Chain A
Amino acid sequence: MKYVDEFRDPQKAEALIWQIEKLCHLLETPIKIMEVCGSHTHAIFKYGIEEILPKAIELIHGPGCPVCVMPKGRLDDAIAISQNPNVIFATFGDAMRVPGSQTTLLQAKTQGADIHTVYSPLDSLKIAKANPDKEVVFFALGFETTAPATALTILEAAAENINNFSVFCNHILVIPALQALLNHPQLQLHAFIGPGHVSTVIGTDPYQLICQQYRKPIVISGFEPLDILQSIWMLLRQLVENRCEVENQYHRLVDKAGNQTAIATMNKVFEVRENFPWRGLGQIPDSGLKIRSEYAQFDAENKFTIPNLLVADHKACQCGNILKGLVKPWECKVFGTACTPETPIGTCMVSSEGACAAYYKYNRLVRTGKNKVTT
Chain B
Amino acid sequence: MKRRVVLGIAVAAALAVLPFRVPSNWQNLLISTFYYAYLGQAWNILGGYAGQLSLGHAAFFAIGAYTSAVLAIHLGISPWLGMVAGALLAALLSLGIGYLGFRFGLRGFYFILLTLAVAEICRLVALHLPILGGYTGLFINFTPDPWQFQFQGKIPYYFIALGFLGVASGIAWLIQRSKLGTYLVAIREDEDASEALGVDTFRYKMVAYAVSAALTAPGGTFYAYFQFYLQPNTVLNINHSVDIMIRPIVGGSGTILGPVLGSLLLELLGEFSRTYFAAGVAGLNVVIYGILLIVVVLFLPRGVYPTLTHLMRRPAAGRRP
- Real complex partners, A and B? no
